[in-house]
């Protein structure tokens, strides 16, 4: 890419209804879902340096669901290469399929020209592990085992398998995953800048704790709203919420890895983090409570009252056309803000 391009990629999950990943609130699918070509065209239009999207035709969507799409065909990937765009390949949960499935995907990603594969660890949201079958300790051990199986493949392919803090894991969890899975150079983290709040951690402090492991970034903002049982995280454009992007980017810039952050807008559904419920804490390590101070400081400084409106067009049950229009508007405002950071 030329120096006139911004050092960011555009993530497909910023446009979930536009691309057909998410129906409207009344369960109506987008009647005219956009193809991934629209995402690539948008990256060029906004002078971005990359794109992030799933390569498979069955795309992991939200709450563990998969939706069929046209997928990333050869013509699309050739267009990405022709435009000089960096490709970040998205995968779902690393334990949702068997190890062979993930290994095959890693090989596909490498052939497509990706150097980073972003993957999730679970379908847990809001740090709420209470309904996880079998409990968190057993699930965490299964994550370690899967990483031991697939990281050698990623290393041989020259890939970073960058697992996301997808509202499920703490900073301590990520450091443990790295060491217990073998401290592979292929192990990485996709830091979602908004998601530390879902486990009661301040985003900047979270970044500092895992800085050497970060191989990819999702630049996502949230507005914070008080709730009877904790606080809510509501979708917004970058720069309109509580995340200190400049501080996070300064930390990551010095970690020794070449990273192209993605612009990612939060999911349409507002998340409520129920950390005032005692049973929520029963499924986290007791030490996690000591990190809560940073998150609460942010709540005290920037949190909004319960009655401050926060719903998106999707949450208000508006039409498909309105939801699509708002998705693009939030993406454009995010890019406009991030373009001014001078990173």
Q: What confidence category does residue 18 fall into, taking pLDDT thresholds of 50, 70 and 90? A: very high
Average pLDDT of the segment spanning 135-153: 98
Between strands 48-54 and 6-11, the pairing is: parallel
Is residue 223 domain-resident? yes
Nearest Cα to Cα of residue 336 among 219, 166, 247: 219
- The CATH number covering residue 141 comes to 3.20.20.150
pLDDT class of 247 with cuts at 50, 70, 90: very high
pLDDT > 90 fraction of the chain, expressed in percent and rounded? 92
33 assigned to some structural domain = yes
d(CA 236, CA 163): 23
DSSP letter at 294 equals H
3: pLDDT confidence band, cut at 50, 70 and 90?
A: low
CA diameter of the chain: 54
Name the domain count of the chain: 1
Give the span between the Cα atoms of 181 and 86, in whole angstroms: 28
181 CA to centre of own chain? 22
Could you tell me the pLDDT band of residue 218, with boundaries at 50, 70 and 90? very high
192 pairs with which residues across the strands? Answer: 218
Sort residue 324 into left (φ over 0), alpha (ψ -120 to 50) or beta. alpha
Q: Where are the beta strands (DSSP E) in the chain?
A: 6-11, 48-54, 58-60, 66-68, 86-93, 116-120, 160-164, 187-192, 214-219, 222-227, 230-235, 262-263, 271-273
The per-residue pLDDT for 274 is 98
Question: How many other C-beta atoms are found inside a 10 Å radius of the C-beta of residue 221?
Answer: 26
- The Cα angle at residue 204 between residues 96 and 208, in degrees rounded to 5: 80
User: What burial letters (b/e) apply to 175-211, b meaning 16+ CB within 10 Å?
Assistant: ebbbeebeebebbbbbbbbbbbbbbbbbbbbbbebbb
Is 14 a domain residue? Answer: yes
Q: What is the mean pLDDT of residues 8-35?
A: 96
**pLDDT of res. 25:** 96
Question: Considering the domain boundaries, does residue 343 fall inside one?
Answer: no
Residue 260 resides in a domain: yes
The tens digit of pLDDT for each residue in 161-208 reads 999 999 999 999 999 999 999 999 999 999 999 999 999 999 999 999
Mean pLDDT computed over every residue of the chain: 95
Residue 72's pLDDT is: 85
**Tell me, what's the pLDDT at 63?**
60
Return the bridge partners of 223, or none: 234
Which CA distances in Å does 286 have to 170, 178, 329? 12, 21, 41
d(CA 261, CA 52): 10
pLDDT tens per residue, range 298-337: 999 999 999 999 999 999 999 999 999 999 999 999 999 9
Complete DSSP assignment for 91-104: EEETTSS-HHHHHH
pLDDT the model gives residue 254? 87
Long-range contacts of 172-176 (CB under 8 A, 24+ apart): 172/209, 172/285, 172/287, 172/288, 173/140, 174/210, 174/213, 175/209, 175/210, 175/213
Residue 1 in any domain: the answer is: no
How many other CB atoms are there within 10 angstroms of residue 86's CB atom?
A: 21
pLDDT value of residue 343: 54
How many helices and strands in the chain, by DSSP H and E? 10, 13
So what's the pLDDT on residue 66? 74
pLDDT at 342 exceeding the cut of 70: no
Expressed as residue numbers, the domain containing 93 is 6-338
Return the percentage of the chain with pLDDT > 70, whole number: 97
The reply to whether 136 falls in a domain is yes
Over the stretch 290-299, which tens digit does the pLDDT of each residue have? 999 999 999 9
Please tell me the distance from the alpha carbon of residue 37 to that of residue 45, in angstroms, as a whole number. Answer: 12
pLDDT of residue 213: 98
Residue 87 to residue 69: CA distance in whole angstroms: 18
The encoded tokens of residue 8 equal: 């960011």
């Amino acid at each position: 890419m030329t120096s006139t391009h911004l050092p960011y990629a555009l993530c497909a999950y910023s446009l979930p209804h536009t691309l057909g990943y998410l129906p409207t609130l009344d369960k109506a699918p987008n009647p005219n879902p956009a193809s991934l070509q629209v995402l690539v065209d948008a990256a060029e239009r906004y002078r971005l340096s990359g794109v992030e999207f799933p390569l498979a035709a069955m795309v992991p969507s939200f709450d563990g669901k998969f939706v069929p799409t046209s997928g990333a065909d050869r013509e699309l990937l050739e267009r990405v290469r022709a435009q000089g765009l960096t490709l970040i390949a998205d995968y779902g949960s690393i334990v949702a399929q068997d190890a062979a499935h993930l290994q095959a995907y890693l090989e596909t990603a490498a052939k497509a020209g990706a150097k980073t594969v972003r993957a999730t660890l679970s379908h847990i949201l809001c740090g709420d592990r209470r309904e996880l079958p079998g409990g968190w300790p057993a699930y965490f051990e299964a994550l370690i085992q899967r990483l031991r199986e697939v990281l050698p493949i990623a290393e041989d392919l020259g890939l970073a398998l960058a697992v996301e803090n997808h509202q499920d894991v703490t900073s301590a969890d990520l450091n443990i995953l790295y060491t217990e899975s073998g401290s592979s150079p292929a192990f990485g983290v996709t830091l979602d800048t908004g998601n530390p709040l879902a486990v009661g951690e301040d985003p900047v402090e979270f970044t500092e704790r895992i800085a050497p492991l970060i191989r990819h970034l999702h630049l996502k903002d949230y507005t914070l709203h008080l709730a009877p049982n904790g606080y809510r995280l509501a979708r917004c454009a970058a720069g309109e919420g509580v995340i200190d992007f400049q501080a996070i980017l300064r930390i990551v810039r010095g970690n020794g890895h070449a990273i192209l952050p993605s612009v990612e807008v939060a999911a349409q559904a507002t998340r409520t983090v129920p950390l005032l419920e005692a049973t929520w804490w029963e499924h986290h390590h007791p030490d996690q409570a000591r990190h809560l101070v940073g998150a609460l400081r942010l709540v005290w400084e920037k949190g909004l009252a319960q009655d401050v409106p926060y719903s998106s067009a999707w949450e208000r049950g508006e039409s498909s056309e309105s939801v699509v229009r708002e998705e693009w508007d939030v993406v454009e405002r995010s890019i406009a803000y991030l373009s001014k950071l001078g990173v």
